[in-house]
Amino acid sequence: MCIAIYKPKDKILTEATLKECFDSNSDGAGFMYSNGTSLKIHKGYFTFAKFYKAYQAHADKQLLLHFRIKTHGAVAIENCHPFLVSKDLGFIHNGIISHHSGNTGVSDTRDFNEKILKPLVKTYGTTIMARPEIQALIEPYIGYSKLAFLDVDGNFTIMNENKGVWDDEVWYSNTSYRPYIAPVKQVSMYPSPTYVPLPTTKRDDYYVSKYEKYTKKDATTYYLQRGSKRIEELDMAVVTDYSKGVYKGTHVKVLYISSLAQCDIELPNGTIIPNFAGANLGLVPFQTTFDDTYDENYSGDIATAYGVY
């Protein structure tokens, strides 16, 4: 479901990293920079060769970069990022803004820009997105989505910044810039004797409550009940069954759980699948996060490197 990148001036991204981003998100690439007097957008690249040829002349600039995977709206240049909010402010987006995903021809990002961002900036000015009180309003509205803004003076703002990762001074909205690591179904070794396995549950114990809630940031956050254990938002889970075995055994991050137990999940390569049936998610043998996996670096397999929170 896309990757959004903020890159500071003089920080060089390797061709391999950019190709990984494109290969994982190949429905249109683009980038934006300021020349000091105006914002310049280059987008609508549907092959890596064309993107990289255009990019090389600007590789040392401060940039917003975006590689798209279609979720809403056609694969077309008008749905490619970045977008201008005004002549002096542009942005990129990673995620799904569910309040703006009803139009099949227009992406949720474009709809959000037209109905929310542009009116705000037109009324209150370019710097409105940098104000903490505005970020506090927008971040819950967009859920797990991430937004990165750049203005004509080179000021940048990232909303839901903590849901992405900083790596060597570059901010990535997810980990699809890293080479894909295929999941395995069996644990071949334990990374540390201090990691405590969770008790297994039988299929008969799996149920999803439509009404039980727990209080984290608010009282409308839902969880999946698995026997005496819970799967909560930002937990890891394993796909127990789905579409006759597609994704079965894959370890995923649960990004969002609705009151109907429909979940947005993130695959190891950064792809996000919305509205995944919570009934098809189970406990993993160990609690883990993707970052734990990369940090442990046990043979490159998702299932061989489980960490604890």
Question: Each residue of 30-76: pLDDT tens digit?
Answer: 999 999 999 999 999 999 999 999 999 999 999 999 999 877 777 88
Quickly count helices (H) and strands (E) in the chain: 6, 20
Phi, psi torsion values for 116, nearest 5 degrees: -120, -60
Considering only the top CATH level, what class is 3-172? Answer: alpha beta
Residue 187's alpha-carbon distances to 119, 191, 202, 306, in angstroms, are 52, 10, 19, 9
Question: Each residue of 6-31: pLDDT tens digit?
Answer: 999 999 999 999 999 999 889 999 99
User: Taking the domains of the chain in order of start, what are their residue ranges?
Assistant: 3-172, 203-304
Are 72 and 101 within 8 A, CB to CB? yes
Q: What percent of the chain has pLDDT over 70?
A: 76
Question: Each residue of 79-108: pLDDT tens digit?
Answer: 899 999 999 999 999 988 877 765 667 888
8-22, 97-111, 160-174, 227-241: least confident range: 97-111
Q: Domain 203-304, what fold?
A: SH3 type barrels. (2.30.30)
